[in-house]
Amino acid sequence: MKHPLFKSSTLSNAVLLGLAMTLSPSISAQEAASEEAAAVERIEVTGSLGSLPGQGVEAVFGFGKSILETPRSASTISDEMLERFAVTDIDDLVAFSPGTFTQSFFGVAGSLDVRGTPGETYFRGVKRLDNPGNYPTPIGASSRIDIVRGPASPIYGPAKIGGYLNFNPKSARASGGQYLEENEGGFSYTLGSWDKSIMTAEIGGPATLGGKEAGFYLYGEVENSGSYYENSGTDQTVLQGSFNIDVTENLRFEFGGMYHDYDGNQVAGWNRLTQDLIDNGTYITGTAKNIDTDGSGAISHAEYGAVNLAGNGFFYAVPSLFTDADATDLMQLENVGTTTLGRNQVLVAADDVLLNTVQTLYFDAIYYTDNGWEIKNQFFYEDYENLNENAYGFSQFHNSSVIENKLIFSTEYESNSLLAQFQFSPSIRHTNFLHGDDFTYEYFNRRDLTMESTALDRRELATRINDNYDNYDKGNYTDLGIAAMTDLTWDWGLNIVLGLRYDSIDIETTSRGDLLLNKGEILSTSQTVDGTSWNTSISYKTDFGLIPYITLAEQATLVAGQGAEIGYGQLIDDDGNEYNGAFDTSELTEIGIKGSFLDDSLYFALSIYEQERSDFNAQAIVTNATTQNKGTEFELRWVVSDQLVVGAGYTKMKVYNLTAYNDGNGGSLFGFLGAEDLTSLTDPSLVFGGNPIGLTLIPEGASKETARKAGIPENIYTLNATYDFLNGYAASASIVRADETFSSFSQSVKLPSYTLVNAGVTYTTDTWSASLNIKNLTDEEYYRANFPDLFGAQIVLPELPRHYQASIAYKF
């Protein structure tokens, strides 16, 4: 896929041109200003880079407590750190925040994994539509990233157990822009390996609306980049805008939005997975036998259904029982050989697509009463349209939207020794969804990756014929919630945070049986689920800088799919009986200690946690599996001097699949069987034209370690540092060391440990800056597991080799 420089939409070009024209007069005026004025307005990243957790963060409990004071494991990453270390996607965040190692979601960096399970993304403190891998979260377009480990505050509503990332868009700077005396902004251009090409422009400043003091901030980004991986590339446009206006002394409006249009593709990685492929790069070549009997150029569902490509036993509860005799003739490759596979040769066809358009809007009204109350009404709207098509046999689409309105009443009371803060919040959140997916005949191994995709491996896709879906669900759900929280702080050091929430959710869903592969009736059902969430946190601030804490929490969890859908099968079982497969609770126990020393220049946090989902039925293996998570997290940030900033982290994490473990009574997990699972098979080429399926068994009485989720290193060590030479130059580096892990739940293929080193240098003047960053400096060969519970024995993602990106920016 070729991507000519800035082959972008008319809309994105017009917006960036408009921003550039807006910037031009300001640039001219800036260049004509005196040296004294230039010195005042100089933007120079020195000192802490915003790395120390002293700033109030609303994203955890909503009380504006700093990360240091918050009795939860959380991290914040400033825009200065994001720029200095060239953080561009969520996979980079592991170097700066413990507990955030993220597995591959077919190569798309959508939502962050937190504590080993899929997390969620919030926008200015409000939950966004689910995005496990619908589009990459545009980290580069954020002004700050907040990461909260563990379930969300009761104020925020039902949430996943692992945690969440709070996205603060660059346009959030409008909250400061309204006090500027003149405009500020800039533009930048970034290039890099594999035709990377990104242009940004931004401007913010004061304004007057109807005679009222106001502020604004606008940001635009256009990317048109190639990719290391064959048949891949990225075209995307991000537009942001925000506005603040002081209507009266007591009333303020904050409103704006973001538009993100993404055009790319998923990357499944290497197929035909063997240990020899990982260890030596040796790949088994050969072509699958033709089953496109009508010569249409793609294998139809009917053509797949007419043959046996699963083995003579069809289903293998004990994979070791699969022998050479079980391989059917059509499963066996022809013209078999071996080769050394390039890491860029991956399972992507030239016409694979991942298209997503998401629009996000918000309007906040904040009113301060004369008797000490703050009344804040938050309105939030988001919708997305998504199309995902992969020639090997998977397609899906979503067309979903959410609208939320949350009213928060806040006040505080102060006595001689006590500061008591209170919040009360009713809310309503309504989600509409339309989702279809198509996966029954999903064959990863039929294509020889040394060749282009052909009729031997291409499948007819449901999204192209609007038929033969596996699921086609349309519906909505409405969440009525009410929550209350209090933060009690005594001047002698004790702090107690209490929260309680109740949710009632009305769900309606319809399954279009007439559009399914296995045809049926159009079926509709509805259900009302409800539950409570609560939080109790106790901490004590000692005189010598240590703050020990303990948090106990139970959080309601709504189990939605990749397109925010709740399917008919989550409410009605195979026998037609109603059951709850859409709602559950998560439990958290966390003990930790935080500290600030050396005149608040050194911060550390240590936490030990256990969290668990409890309902085996209410799960989605892709987005919200039933797990138990145990671990230890350590984070250190130290501003050694005005020139040197150092950070370090450690994560020890174990995640157990409770569904498979079955309380030690003997369990199993379904999955696609790989060559290394079939231990009685003498030649893997006998099955690579098909797809054996079966179980990984856990014997009765077995240790819980046998139910460990794969793809998650048990130990991860991180170190980062940046040094400012005080002459315009600065250097930075980060190191991530991760343990070996398995690619699949069956533990048949081991992925090696690795050490990832990134480094960069920047040069900054009064208005101009330039940077060069080398990622994977040592050219380490490493891998990331891809859906280890389901597909991990057949596919794996080889990660990027050494590559660079360089940027030049002008700011005023």
Average pLDDT, the chain: 90
Tens digits of residue pLDDT in 507-551: 999 999 999 999 999 999 999 999 999 999 999 999 998 999 999
Write out the DSSP string of 727-773: SSEEEEEEEEEE--EESSTT--SEEPPEEEEEEEEEEE-SSEEEEEE
Task: Give the percent of the chain with pLDDT over 70.
Answer: 91
Question: Cα–Cα distance between 324 and 587 in angstroms, integer?
Answer: 47
Average pLDDT of the segment spanning 76-95: 93
Sign of the Cα pseudo-torsion (449, 454, 459, 460, in order) = positive
Residue 21 pLDDT class (50, 70, 90 cuts)? very low
Per-residue pLDDT at 625: 67
C-alpha dist (Å) from residue 572 to 12, 524, 567, 617: 45, 10, 9, 11
Q: Which residues contact 250 (CB under 8 A, 6 or more apart)?
A: 367, 368, 369, 370
Range name among 23-37, 110-124, 351-365, 433-447 with the lowest pLDDT average: 23-37
What does DSSP assign to residue 642?
S
Mean pLDDT within 423-447: 97
pLDDT band at 61 (very low <50, low <70, confident <90, very high): confident
pLDDT category, 11, cuts 50, 70, 90?
very low
Higher-scoring residue by pLDDT: 567, 48: 567
- pLDDT value at residue 482: 98
H helices present in 242-341, as ranges: 275-280, 301-305
**Which pLDDT band, with edges at 50, 70 and 90, does 30 fall under?**
very low
pLDDT at 349 over 50: yes
Supply the pLDDT for residue 337: 98
Q: What is the chain's length? A: 812
| Confidence band, pLDDT 50/70/90 cuts, at residue 33 | very low
CA dist 475 and 376 (Å) reads 30
Q: What is the pLDDT of residues 187-236, one digit of tens each?
A: 999 999 999 999 999 999 998 888 898 999 999 999 999 999 999 999 99
pLDDT tens per residue, range 670-691: 999 999 999 999 999 999 999 9
Categorize the per-residue pLDDT at 8 as very low, low, confident or very high, splitting at 50, 70 and 90.
very low
In DSSP terms, 245 is beta-bridged to 214, 253
pTM of the model: 0.91
- The CATH class that applies to domain 74-267+353-811 reads mainly beta
Nearest to 270 by CA among 258, 260, 279, 259: 279
Predicted local confidence at residue 208, as pLDDT: 87
Question: Can you give 662-678 as a three-state secondary structure string?
Answer: HHHCCEEEEEECCCCCC
Per-residue confidence (pLDDT) for residue 36, from 0 to 100: 34
- pLDDT for position 803: 98
**CA-to-CA dists, residue 697 to 130, 324, 694, 793, angstroms:** 31, 22, 10, 15
Q: What is the pLDDT of residue 10?
A: 42
Max mean pLDDT range (87-96, 564-573, 757-766): 757-766
Give the confidence band of 31 by pLDDT, cuts at 50, 70, 90: very low
Query: 56 falls in which pLDDT band (50, 70, 90)?
Result: low
Angle formed at CA 34 by CA 32 and CA 39, multiple of 5 degrees = 115
pLDDT at residue 81 is higher than 60: yes
Mean pLDDT on 156-167:
89
Model pLDDT, residue 139: 87
Span 636-654, mean pLDDT? 96
Mean pLDDT of 336-341: 98
Better-predicted residue by pLDDT, 11 or 453: 453
Q: pLDDT value at position 22?
A: 41
Q: Which pLDDT does position 178 carry in this prediction?
A: 57
Q: Which among 204, 172, 193 has a CA at the least distance from the CA of 59?
A: 172
